Amino acid sequence: MSKITIDTDTSRATPAPKPGKRMTVPKIRARKGDPEAEPLVMLTAYTMRQAQLLDAHCDMLLVGDSLGNVIYGLDSTVPVTIEMMINHGAAVVRGSWHAQVTVDMPFGSYEESKEVAFRNASRILKETGASAVKLEGGEAMAETIHFLNARGIPVIGHVGLTPQAINLLGSYRARGRDEAEAAKVLADARAVAEAGAFALVIEGVMEEIADEITESVDIPTIGIGASAKCDGQVLVTEDMLGLFERVPRFVKRYHDLAGEMSDAVERYAAEVRSRSFPTDEQTYRPKG
């Protein structure tokens, strides 16, 4: 593995980080037992600059395998590779100083066995500098979560709608609509918590199920299409900033960044074509 050294005093992309202490896994875990604690704020991040802009406002940054959709234009997260996750994870760690950084384990990197999961999870932590991994699945992954946790790898669980299982699920509809499915989601959540996960993402489930999970497990729950009563919330940053026209129902768009970018590019194109850019201010001429 090659090591890249960047001069933070001169690099536009990587200015010197602000002083401060990074959020730790124990601090996040302790939020569950603190009645005065604020809800956890988590957003996805895939690049160094994005991490810089989000870091001060977030407790946690998730390098999600949603980068397959958002960055690479893939139809699902299934084709995402561990190399993709490591490259983006390392960039996010370099761009942050405050938030705890978790990296998703991509499909196929942990399901085979707990030993394979450890090998890949340890590689992710070594090569990114992140402090935790996230993996999807409930009862079936409990043994693996316990194995990783016992060997020094913090894990965030993920239950409910699990995008890596799209070929089995067939759609991205909310889970827990019938009694059997609701019971399965609850059992999965409890199994993940008991196995030693330090937090739990609950995605795309009926609100009452998310509420029951949050009340019944002793680790923080982080909702995405779940409930306002969860111990925290996460969204895909590009969705909440309005970079895509179509977003899931559970997303609130806080900005129209796509519109602003389109307007800016339109003005740039017009100035280039009219030769009004660049001007004297953007060109170099001899002094004197």
Average of pLDDT values for 94-100? Answer: 95
Question: Which DSSP symbol is given to 143?
Answer: H
Does residue 207 carry a pLDDT above 90? yes
Distance CA 80, CA 108 (A): 9
Confidence band for 58, pLDDT divided at 50, 70 and 90: very high
pLDDT in tens, 86-95: 999 999 999 9
Distance CA 40, CA 232 (A): 4
Would you give the distance in Å from CA 156 to the centre of its chain?
A: 11
CATH homologous superfamily for the domain 25-256: Phosphoenolpyruvate-binding domains (3.20.20.60)
Annotated binding-site residue? 207: no
Least confident range from 19-33, 184-198, 207-221: namely 19-33
Distance CA 17, CA 184 (A): 44
Q: Is 252 left (phi over 0), alpha (psi -120 to 50) or beta?
A: beta
Confidence band for 10, pLDDT divided at 50, 70 and 90: very low
- For residue 234, the surrounding DSSP H or E stretch is strand 232-235
Share of the chain above pLDDT 70, in %: 90
Does residue 99 carry a pLDDT above 50? yes
Within 10 angstroms of residue 55's Cβ, the number of other Cβ atoms is 22
Least confident range from 39-48, 131-140, 162-171: namely 162-171
Q: Counting beta carbons within 10 angstroms of the beta carbon of residue 97, is it exposed (0 to 12), middle (13 to 18) or buried (19 or more)?
A: middle
**Between 227 and 18, residue with greater pLDDT:** 227
Write the CA distances from 226 to 77, 148, 192, integer angstroms: 20, 27, 17
Annotated binding-site residue? 65: yes
pLDDT of residue 2: 43
As a whole number, the mean pLDDT across the chain is 91
Q: Is 203 a residue of the active site? A: yes
pLDDT in tens, 60-81: 999 999 999 999 999 999 999 9
Select which of 111, 139, 179, 203 is catalytic.
203
Six token digits for residue 57: 């406002």
Confidence band for 18, pLDDT divided at 50, 70 and 90: low
Distance CA 196, CA 38 (A): 23
3-state helix, strand, coil in the chain (%, to 5): 40, 15, 45
pLDDT in tens, 151-205: 999 999 999 988 777 777 766 567 768 899 899 999 999 999 999 999 999 999 9
pTM, full prediction: 0.91
pLDDT of residue 287: 84
Least confident range from 55-69, 79-93, 237-251, 253-267: namely 237-251
pLDDT of residue 172: 57
Annotated binding-site residue? 66: yes
Would you give the distance in Å from CA 274 to the centre of its chain?
A: 42
